[in-house]
Amino acid sequence: MFRQAFFLLLMCFVSVGCSGEGKPSGTESAKGEQGSEPSAAAEPKPVDYEADPIVMTPMQWKEHENKLKYKTEHLKGRTIRITGEVSDMGINMGYYDEKKPATALDLYLPKDENTVNDVSCEFFGPPVWRSVGPGQTVTVEFKHSGEFSARPVDCKIVSVEGKPFPVVQASELAAEFAKDSEAVDKKYIHKPENSDSDFDVERKSLGIVGKVKEANKSDSGSVKILFETGQDVTVEAEMYYYIGDKVELPAVGDEYRVWGTYQSSGNQGFGGKSLGVSDAVPFPVK
């Protein structure tokens, strides 16, 4: 899931120097139920740049460089505090240091013509999925780099509130797919009616839980987990090699929860009669 965000970031950086933080397209943003948007929040207070820490909403962070006319050198070393709802989580390789992949959280932004991506907060050290999940409200802090293209890097969690998004049972997902695979694809994949390009496809993210049928780690470090379904349909989760050393393989029969980007055999994803999530990470928070 964050793999798509990484390439988008890289292309933007090389071509036009955009400063938008990465977010996998089609990510669910909801309170309590996947697929619905959070209700409109009250108008936030103006940002006090003399405060310590400097408190912002995700949208204020998104807009602060423009508000300051890209003169952000005076913010170098200052602590920024942002509170927002987690819309997604995964891995960001980070084009600034390919040898230091970071676990990341996306904070929800209301969609309009000026907001393409949510705000991506990157964490070094212990994987962030151990303590927070999509759907919860999180407060994070980080140091501003002073650069006009600054991103929330080396973030620390201050607080976590609320419940994460509900997960889908692997067996139920398989039964639904066996009955009408096209309907399931339409539920988790959006493609503009007038587009023939696969780049316009927006794949939603979701959580899956089920009993492990099989779990393997390849020589390269990538992980594949197959869930029991009771159907002639395979539900699987694929984790890429850059988190292989952060994941302990579950045993056969264990209940396991993952979060990732929807893929299926009918949409250039998994082969055969199968579906599940790619760019997956563990989703233990309940």
Q: How many CB atoms lie within 10 A of CB 279?
A: 25
pLDDT tens string for the chain (286 positions)?
444 443 333 333 233 233 333 333 333 333 334 544 454 557 889 999 999 999 999 999 989 988 888 899 999 999 999 999 999 998 776 544 545 667 888 887 665 444 456 888 988 878 889 999 999 999 999 999 999 888 898 899 999 999 999 999 999 999 999 999 989 998 998 876 776 666 667 889 999 999 999 999 998 889 999 999 998 999 999 998 877 777 889 999 999 999 999 999 866 556 568 999 999 999 999 9
**Three-state secondary structure string covering the chain:** CHHHHHHHHHHHHHHCCCCCCCCCCCCCCCCCCCCCCCCCCCCCCCCCCCCCCEEECHHHHHHHHHHCCCCCHHHCCCEEEEEEEEEEEEEECCCCCCCCCEEEEEECCCCCCCCCCCEEEEECCCCHHHCCCCCCEEEEEEECCCCCCCCCCCCEEEEEECCCCCCEEHHHHHHHHHHCHHHHHHHHEECCCCCCCHHHCEECEEEEEEEEEEEEECCCCCEEEEECCCCCCEEEEEECHHHHHHCCCCCCCCEEEEEEEEEECCCCCCCCCEEEEEEEEECCCC
What is the per-residue pLDDT for 190? 80
What is the per-residue pLDDT for 22? 34
CB-based burial, 28-44: b 16+ in 10 Å, e otherwise: bbbbeebeeebeeeeee
Q: Residue 247's Cα: distance from chain center in Å? A: 17
For residues 211 and 257, give the distance between their C-alpha atoms in angstroms, rounded to a whole number: 9
